[in-house]
Structure formats: structure tokens, C-alpha cells
Amino acid sequence: MNAYRWVVRGVYGFFGVLILAVVAFKVFQPVQVLPRVRLGPGFILVDQNGAPLTNEDLRGKVVLYSFFYTRCPGDCYGVIPTLQYVQAQAPAALGDIPFRIVLISLDPEHDTPERLRAYAERVGAQPDRWVLATQPDPQRLRMLIGSGFNMYYDPQPDGSIRFAPRYVLVDGWGIVRGEYKYETLTSTEERIVRHLGVLAEEIRNSQGSAKLAYEAAHFFLCYAP
Amino acid sequence: MSSGAKRGLGWALGALLLIVLGWWGWQRFRPYAFHGTVLQSAEPAPDFTLMSADGPVSLSDFRGRIVMLYFGYTFCPDVCPTTLFEVQKTMELLGEDADQVQLIMISVDPLRDTPERLKEYVQYFHPSFIGVTGSEDEIAQVATQYGIYYEKHEGTPATGYLVDHTATLTVVDRKGYVKLIFPYGTPAEDMAADLKYLIEH
């Protein structure tokens, strides 16, 4: 019967369109997101003004963490110019979404708040965007950096510290959304700023039906490169 | 019926079917909107082994069940009891499914919270709740890994010192991955709905 044939075609058509839509979503990735990697660490640090800084204080803000020490030679393996670039570009990428750079010293015995403050001025850290801090107890710092940020560092007898530059992007819910530890084809600083833009899009669309598209992007692993 | 009318009827039926199927598919397969913050982490939740009054407790002991982790302490004046009462209510709302969910309270005050004291405290809220503690270093490590900040500060002579701490509940799924975070103040109804979904899917 003719009507029956149309019903069958309708069913095939429906599933055909559905499958095509899913494939198209996965292939063309109209929506890209950053992965939700893991919970960001909990901590209490002391900042360049001697005030406590906890991960709770940073809730609701997008935070880029990185690591250094004030006696680090030159531009500290590129950490400082990278953060200067991010500090300058972040407002354009994020709009009015609150943002902080938190630069953690791996040398708490030497890096007092005064030294951190002097260093902040030297590298042009703007106090409302870029905070320098450390954990005064070396053992607790080691735990935070090791089991919180999964990073290894190795203090040397001469006072220098061996470590590979690393950047960790954490969203306002305290979830790690990006880790930058290896050089890729695009430079790290450009990649971080691009990712800030991707994250901002998701935060702006975290309400209502647009949220579904972003959840689908998470489900289909449509991650921004 | 003319062939034109038949064809028209066919189109109409096809279109109707598409709409009905689409609606059904949407109702059936639309993504569930969690009340808590979703963390579909690709990495397993860090395991730990801490001490309860009934012996050592590891997160990995509870594979196959949903675990809610709560960091608090027994001298806690208001935040902890409020949260634990809300979890108690959640368990009641879950009814028979409650045995699929295990709450573990991890002490952020290991100096004062003995395993026995913790047991008495958590079981006041629900007989299934478990309380664990460990050395200061062990607690610091677990708290760091789960994004929990805590810090001692002065109280009154009546309360002794107080401990400021992150007051979220962390939900670990059956396979041992952190799935959800409930911020402080999430109503029991919302937590029960999310947990029910996790139990059924």
C-alpha cells in the first residue's frame, strides 16, 4: 500500500537525518569546548601583599596558573613574556568575565611578599589581573604543586630550581580546563588566549537551550585544538 | 481516491510521523540537565585510604556504588550539620535507591576528630554515613586533590578553634570518576534528582 510505503520512508528518513546530524556535528564541530580535565586543587597561599589567597576566593573567576621563582634567570624560560601577552589579550578574549593570572613561586624561603611585590612591578603585573603568591610552608607547597597541579620541580643546592614551564587553566567552578606543558605548532600564548575565547563562549551560553549544544560538544569530544 | 490525493496523504502521513518520532526521540534521548556542576572527567578520582572507627576505608572500596564526599569536622557549628541534614533528606527522597549511595565525610580537623567521634557524629544524621580521618599530611593531600581549601582560625572559648573549609559535596560515580559537584546550599530535591538519574543510567 502506498501510505505504508510512505510511513517506512518516513522512519528511514528520520533516522537518516538524525545520523547525518550527529555525523555533521562531530565532523564540522560547529561548537567547540575545552575538556573538563579534573578538579583543580584546593589551597591557601600568601600573595604579594601578605594577604591569604585561597581557591575559594577565585571561584567564579577564570584563572590561569603558572609557576616561577624570583631568582629565575632572564624571562624565566618564557613564562614572563607568555603571561604578559595573556594579561594584555585576556580582556578582549573574555569580555566582562572575571579573570586572574596566579603566578606561584616555587621558592617560598626566599620569595617573601616584598620580593614578590617588587617582581610584580618589574614585570608589569596589574594587581587586578595578575597576582603573585606562594605557600610559605615548603612541604605544603610541594604537596600542592605535586598532587594538586601534577607538576615536578627540583630545587638545586645553589638556590636555582629546575622545572619545565607549565600553565594550568581553571574555570569559575574550579575545574581544570587546559594544561599547557609542551610546545605545539602554535605558540603557547596564542593557544591560551584562543582557549580563553572558547571558554568565554561556553560560559556565555551556559543557560537555556544553547547549553545543550555545548553539552553535546562535551559528549562528542569536540575539543578546541 | 486519485493518485494526487494519495500522494498528498502520503506526504502528510510522513510529515506527521517525522514530527511524532522527533518529539518522542527528544523526550526519550534529550540530555538530562543536572542541577549540580558536571565534571565528566577522563581521569579517575584520586584514590585514598583513611581511617574510620570500623577500620580503613578506601574510595575504591565503593566501585559499583555512587559516593558522595564531604569535607567537614565534628565541631563545625552550622555549615556541616546543614549540609548533612540535606544529604539525610536526599537519602529519604531516594527511598530504596539510597543503598546505592554512600556518603563519606572526611575530617579537615584530624587533631580533634577521632574515628570514634566521627562515627558517632555522622551516624546521628544517617546510619549508613561513614566518617574518616588520617594524619595531617594525608588529609592535606586528599583535600588538595579534591579542590578543598581548609584553614584553622580562632573561635570563641566555647567552640575552640574553627576550621574554614570548602563546603561542596563531590559525587563520584560507580566507575570511580568525579561526576558532579554540589555547591553548598543545593536542595535535597535537586541532589536526589541528579543521583536518581545516575543510579538509573
Chain B nearest-CA distance from A221, in A, is 11
pLDDT at residue number A15:
86
Q: What is the spatial distance between Cα B40 and Cα B198, in angstroms, rounded to a whole number?
A: 13
Statement: residue B164 has pLDDT above 90: no
pTM of the model: 0.85
Q: Which of A90-94, A128-132, A178-182, B138-142 bottoms out in mean pLDDT, i.e. has the lowest?
A: A178-182
In a domain, A127, yes or no: yes
Separation of alpha carbons A134 and B166, rounded Å: 20
Burial of A205 (0-12, 13-18, 19+ CB in 10 A): middle
Q: A42 and A6: one domain?
A: no
Boundaries of domain holding A48:
38-219
Give the confidence band of B1 by pLDDT, cuts at 50, 70, 90. Answer: low
Q: Which residues contact A119 (CB under 8 A, 6 or more apart)?
A: A48, A70, A111, A132
- Answer yes or no: is A224 within a domain: no
pLDDT computed for residue A214 by the predictor = 85
Q: Tell me the CB-side half-sphere exposure of residue B165, using CA atoms within 13 A.
A: 31
Neighboring chain B residues of A214 at a CB cutoff of 8 Å: none
Asked if residue A98 belongs to a domain, the reply is yes
Share of chain B above pLDDT 90, in %: 68
Partner A contacted by B95 (CB < 8 A): no
Residue B112 pLDDT level (bands cut at 50, 70, 90): very high
Kindly state whether residues A23 and A56 are assigned to the same domain: no
C-beta atoms of B14 and A7 within 8 A: yes
Give the three cell numbers for residue A28: 564540522
Per the structure, the count of domains in chain A is 2
Q: How far apart are CA B31 and CA B42, in angstroms?
A: 19
pLDDT digits (tens, 9 = 90+) for A12-38: 888 888 888 888 877 777 788 999 999
* DSSP type of residue B133: B
User: What does the alpha-carbon distance between residue A23 and residue B158 come to, in Å, rounded to a whole number?
Assistant: 64
CATH tag, B37-200: 3.40.30.10
Q: How confident is the model at residue A119 (pLDDT cuts 50, 70, 90)?
A: very high
Q: Residue A213 — very low, low, confident or very high, per pLDDT cuts 50/70/90?
A: confident
Share of chain A above pLDDT 90, in %: 68
State the DSSP H helix or E strand holding residue B193, giving kind and residue range, or none if neither: helix B188-200
What percent of chain A has a predicted confidence (pLDDT) above 70? 97
Residues A19 and A51 in one domain: no
Q: At A163, phi and psi to the nearest 5?
A: -160, 160
Pick from B13, B31, B41: CB nearest A36: B41
Q: Are A13 and A44 contained in the same domain?
A: no
DSSP assignment letter at A79: H
* Contact at CB, A219 and B31, closer than 8 angstroms: yes
Please report, as a single letter, which amino acid is at residue A94: L
Residue of B nearest to A214 (CA): B31
**How far does the CA of residue B90 sit from the closest CA of chain A (Å)?**
23
Mark whether A67 and A91 lie in a shared domain: yes
In a domain, A80, yes or no: yes
What's the pLDDT tens digit per position in A65-74?
999 999 999 8
The per-residue pLDDT for range A176-189, each reduced to its tens digit, is: 999 998 766 668 89
Q: Inter-chain contact B14–A18, Cβ cutoff 8 Å?
A: no
**Contact assessment for residue B103 and residue B129, using Cβ atoms and an 8 Å cutoff:** yes
pLDDT score of B65 more than 70: yes
The answer on A103 and A12 residing in a single domain is no
Cβ neighbours of residue B108 closer than 8 Å, sequence gap 6 or more: B71, B72, B73, B139, B143, B148, B150, B163, B165
pLDDT of the residue at A184: 63
